[in-house]
Amino acid sequence: MDRGYKMWLRYNQITNQEVLEEYQSCLQHLHFSVNTATILAAVDELQAGLSSMINHSLHVLKTKDQRATLLLTIEESIAKEENVQVEIEDEGYVIKSIKNNRLIIFGKTDIGVLYGVFHLLRLMQTQCSLKHIYIVEQPKNSLRMLNEWDNMDGSIERGYAGVSIFFENNQFTKDWERVKDYARLLASVGINGIAFNNVNVHEQETKLITPEYLPTVAKVANIFRMYGIKTFLSINYASPISLGGMDTADPLNEEVRQWWKDKAKEIYRFIPDFGGVLVKADSEHRPGPFTYNRTHADGANMLAGAFAPFDGIVLWRCFVYDCMQDWRDRSTDRARAAYDHFKPIDGKFHKNVVLQIKNGPMDFQVREAVSPLFGAMPNTNQMLELQITQEYTGQQKHLCYLVPQWKEILDFDTYANGVNTPIKSIVDGSQYKYDHCGITAVSNVGNDDNWTGHTLAQANLYGYARLAWNPDLSAELITDEWAKLTFGVDEQVVQVVSNMLLQSWHIYEKYTSPLGVGWMVNPGHHYGPNVDGYEYSVWGTYHFADSKGIGVDRTVATGTGFTNQYFKENKELYETLNNCPDELLLFFHHVPYTHQLKSGDTVIQHIYNTHFEGVEEAIGLKKSWLSLEAKISPSIFNGVSERLQHQIEHAKEWRDVINTYFYRKSGIEDEKNRKIY
């Protein structure tokens, strides 16, 4: 039964006769000019894809001759013979139709060829003609990573799709086939790095960098390597204490420095192309350099020095804030924290350190401002961290397709280098000459049959990777592509599914926390409404609602001064009520419920309206889905239907809790007299 395991690599049989004949005639004989594991993986993928889609596999020619209708090569001389552009980057590729109904895929490296093969298969799955094509592709971002938040006991931090595919009972699962399938899926959309243990590195995971586990880490790395994916590990900053028996992890202590140097050497003995380490330090009770009165530059550079001889890099997270805040203290603002900590040490980091910055200054809310740190550190490598796993966005029970949100973030103009300095141009290294940069994201997969729990949540993983490859792709194009790859080219299905996806983020936003204020979720697991769940807590996540108004005053004039962290144009945008966009109003301002939005509604009426509308629109999502019953495999159809029904019920809960809370607080009636409790 089709439960969605294959995700977007389904290779369904092509039934359109014309398309089938075209493919069959041009895909007859294959010649490939190098024999690396990656090229062989590409050939395997081709053969599997073709036999499933067009009922035949390619006949492999040992020598290159005119019969070869498909050429895979990394040799420039062969490419030049066919007038193929050879000036491409290492991971780039060219697919060109050449004389006599033949095709060539040229890559500078075998990884480029592999990407080209996946692209060819994608063209076929979406039934595009291969005649007269000349595709030149290269990734915009050099780091295109995933962070798995998997623990060795098998659990996944913020995992909503079963347990880990990597670990169980403090060991590796050894389900290498599944790991390989994951690698195939990721390579097919250009992911080139993975850190597969949780950034919160607990006792057992600390040992992943010891000989007890390194041989198995190496095994995983071998699988990923074949698909062009480098392996990274999250490390415990206090490893010299936990593993080395030392009494300090002070980054300036000579013995600590030596310990890490030896450790790096040891890791590279097992994994010669190990990518490097991911570090969550001084964040949510994780150890870090602050314990020793050292800066984060001291901390990161010490590791960078140890890994540099092996070309390893240090991914250093900027999610550093006071998580023991006093809610009575209104001057401390968590949103300020990353900038306050890191901006002053711009230029102090080694070349092989990359600062990993969450898209927003708080924490992956359905709507928040972008982090003002992007573009503010011209002399320090930066990368963007997104969250695919839907922690605050419905936990893969609700449909919430995040590509439109990510597009807004990537396109956001920071003005760092004057007008037109979008975030995408900072993290791809084109604004400042960064040595390492790119995009990473917290993965949403687990060992559920369909990997992501909600089958439609596969689109988030797909869309993330496509954007990491090329942030200029439109949400519509990515969505259309994913829908076709997943459900076939039937126009009705593609249109209905695409519309559902593209609307879903706004729908989710409507019935959850309003106008950028965020949070209002149950503490701990973060699912479901609880308006005051975090209001009197230590986490720095408040809405300050009282009987008169709501919102966080982050202005320079009267608030925490956070707006000052942005470049002038954005500071002016957010600082005044007049300029501040509605959707972020409560992120930046505390206003009376009667404040009139640009939309014309008052804040309170907006809250009521959007919550009623959100539920209606969630009902609409299910209606749309039901219209596809005859065209979707029953197991997937029923699974998604059940989740959409749950979404409706849960959206009602959100609606009623939020509306009732604000009705009771404000005492203001809904203009439309709808039911509020």
Catalytic residue among 91, 137, 391, 617: 391
Residue from the set 122, 158, 334, 589 that interacts with ligand GCU by CB under 6 A: 158
Q: Tokens 């926390």 map to which residue?
A: 513
**Residue ranges of E strands in 305-457:** 313-317, 353-358, 382-387, 438-442
R_g over Cα of the chain: 26
589/550 Cα distance (integer angstroms): 8
Provide the mask over 10-39, with x wherever binding to ligand GCU is found by CB under 6 A and - wherever it is not: ------------------------------
Residue from the set 213, 319, 464, 487 that interacts with ligand GCU by CB under 6 A: 319
* 139 φ/ψ angles, rounded to the nearest 5 degrees: -70, 145
628/123 Cα distance (integer angstroms): 24
User: Is-catalytic flag, 481?
Assistant: no
Q: How far is the CB of 200 from ligand GCU (least distance, A)?
A: 5
Half-sphere exposure for 567 (CA within 13 Å, toward CB): 19
654/643 Cα distance (integer angstroms): 16
Q: How far is the CB of 268 from ligand GCU (least distance, A)?
A: 27
Q: Which of positions 280-309 make contact with ligand GCU (CB under 6 A)? A: 280, 284
Q: How far is the CB of 373 from ligand GCU (least distance, A)?
A: 15
Q: Tokens 């002070």 map to which residue?
A: 250
Q: How far is the CB of 281 from ligand GCU (least distance, A)?
A: 11
45 versus 391: smaller Cβ distance to ligand GCU: 391
283 versus 570: smaller Cβ distance to ligand GCU: 283
Q: How far is the CB of 206 from ligand GCU (least distance, A)?
A: 16
User: Is-catalytic flag, 254?
Assistant: no
529 versus 614: smaller Cβ distance to ligand GCU: 529
324/502 Cα distance (integer angstroms): 38
* HEC profile of 288-322: CHHHHCCCHHHHHHHHHHHHHHHCCEEEEECCCCC
Assess 200 for contact with ligand GCU (CB under 6 A). Answer: yes
Provide the mask over 403-442, with x wherever binding to ligand GCU is found by CB under 6 A and - wherever it is not: ----------------------------------------
Q: Which of positions 342-371 make contact with ligand GCU (CB under 6 A)? A: 363
Assess 157 for contact with ligand GCU (CB under 6 A). Answer: yes
Assess 397 for contact with ligand GCU (CB under 6 A). Answer: no
Question: How many CB atoms neighbour CB 445 within 10 A?
Answer: 28
216/185 Cα distance (integer angstroms): 21
391 versus 413: smaller Cβ distance to ligand GCU: 391
Assess 321 for contact with ligand GCU (CB under 6 A). Answer: no
Catalytic residue among 110, 181, 282, 363: 363
**Residue ranges of E strands in 396-452:** 438-442
Q: Output the six-digit token pair for 511.
A: 């019935």
Cα dihedral sign for 350, 353, 358, 362? negative
487 versus 534: smaller Cβ distance to ligand GCU: 534
Assess 481 for contact with ligand GCU (CB under 6 A). Answer: no
560/384 Cα distance (integer angstroms): 25
Q: How far is the CB of 151 from ligand GCU (least distance, A)?
A: 11
202 versus 265: smaller Cβ distance to ligand GCU: 202
User: Is-catalytic flag, 157?
Assistant: no
148 versus 391: smaller Cβ distance to ligand GCU: 391
Pairing state between β 313-317 and 276-279: parallel
Sequence-separated (6 or more) residues with CB below 8 Å from residue 326: 332, 538
CB 233 within 8 A of CB 208: yes
Q: Tokens 């809310």 map to which residue?
A: 365
Helix, coil or strand: residue 576: coil
Catalytic residue among 284, 311, 435, 546: 284
Assess 121 for contact with ligand GCU (CB under 6 A). Answer: no
Cβ burial, residue 175 (10 Å; 0-12/13-18/19+)? middle
Q: How far is the CB of 444 from ligand GCU (least distance, A)?
A: 14
Query: Residues binding ligand GCU: what is the number (CB under 6 A)?
Result: 9
Assess 199 for contact with ligand GCU (CB under 6 A). Answer: yes
What residues are labeled active site? 284, 363, 391
Residues found near ligand GCU in the complex (CB under 6 A): 157-158, 199-200, 280, 284, 319, 363, 391
